[in-house]
């Protein structure tokens, strides 16, 4: 990890807006982007592709270490490139999300991916999107933000996103899935979902995307890290 490169760590539950905000902030700042949640999806996706069982912890850890992945931003949109192929759409369905949550609870896999995540920290800076960026991966980040929103609002956003993609989904079922995932992620023994002690909490339930970007930019400016600061 390059200690001279600043990190904006953005954590929070699924549906709070981390992905969208992280991409916009990385583009705005001209920094690198890390979608840490995608690493677990990618590991799960690769496991399924290579017929590795989700309870085979040793093989999953080996698979995680070998992932060749990057997150370039093109025309304002983040790409998820695995071994030269953009698999962003392929890993974003609900099934892969469920697999990823199971994979993320395995200590050997988290250990395997820890250094890989830290290697993304290069000048001029890194926007790190995840669930334990501020608590585990980048504990010295100069700004740690914990984005949240009500489960109902996160389910509504996911439902709208699926509708726009032409996918039929039940709002009630999505809400139950989000609540179950929240419980699993906050109660797991390894790196549970929680804000870092020095994180700034931001509830996005009633905020627009521009309002969130403006708030984060202001907080960075206060630390002398935003453009023009």
55-102 residue pLDDT tens: 999 999 999 988 889 999 998 888 999 988 999 989 988 899 899 989
Q: Check: CATH 3.40.50.620 for 7-215?
A: no
Q: Tens of pLDDT along 135-156?
A: 999 999 999 999 999 999 999 9
pTM for the predicted model, two decimal places: 0.84
142 three-class SS: coil
Q: Could you give the residue ranges of the DSSP H alpha helices within the chain?
A: 18-29, 36-49, 57-65, 94-104, 107-118, 151-164, 171-187, 209-222
124 three-class SS: coil
What does the block give as tokens for 134? 């501020």
Annotated binding-site residues read 12-20
Neighbours of 175 (CB within 10 A): 17
Annotated binding-site residues for ATP read 12-20
pLDDT score at 226: 72
Q: Does the pLDDT of residue 2 top 80, yes or no?
A: no
């Amino acid at each position: 990890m390059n200690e001279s490169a600043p990190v904006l760590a953005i954590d929070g539950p699924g549906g709070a807006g981390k992905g969208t905000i992280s991409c916009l902030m990385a583009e705005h700042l001209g920094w690198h982007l890390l979608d840490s949640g995608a690493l677990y999806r990618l590991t799960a996706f690769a496991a399924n592709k290579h017929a590795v069982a989700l309870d085979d912890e040793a093989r999953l850890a080996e698979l995680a270490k070998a992932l060749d992945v990057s997150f370039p931003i093109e025309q304002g949109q983040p790409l998820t490139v695995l071994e030269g192929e953009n698999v962003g759409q392929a890993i974003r369905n609900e099934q892969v999300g469920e697999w990823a949550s199971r994979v993320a609870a395995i200590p050997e896999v988290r250990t395997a991916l820890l250094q890989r995540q830290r290697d993304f920290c290069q000048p001029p800076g890194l926007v790190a999107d995840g669930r334990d960026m501020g608590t585990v991966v980048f504990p010295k980040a100069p700004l740690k933000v914990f984005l949240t929103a009500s489960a109902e609002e996160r389910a509504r956003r996911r439902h709208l996103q699926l509708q726009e993609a032409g996918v039929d989904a039940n709002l009630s079922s999505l809400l139950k899935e989000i609540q179950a995932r929240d419980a699993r992620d906050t109660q797991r023994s390894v790196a549970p979902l929680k804000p870092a002690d020095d994180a700034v909490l931001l509830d996005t339930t009633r905020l627009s995307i521009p309002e969130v970007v403006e708030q984060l930019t202001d907080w960075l400016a206060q630390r002398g890290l935003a453009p023009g600061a």
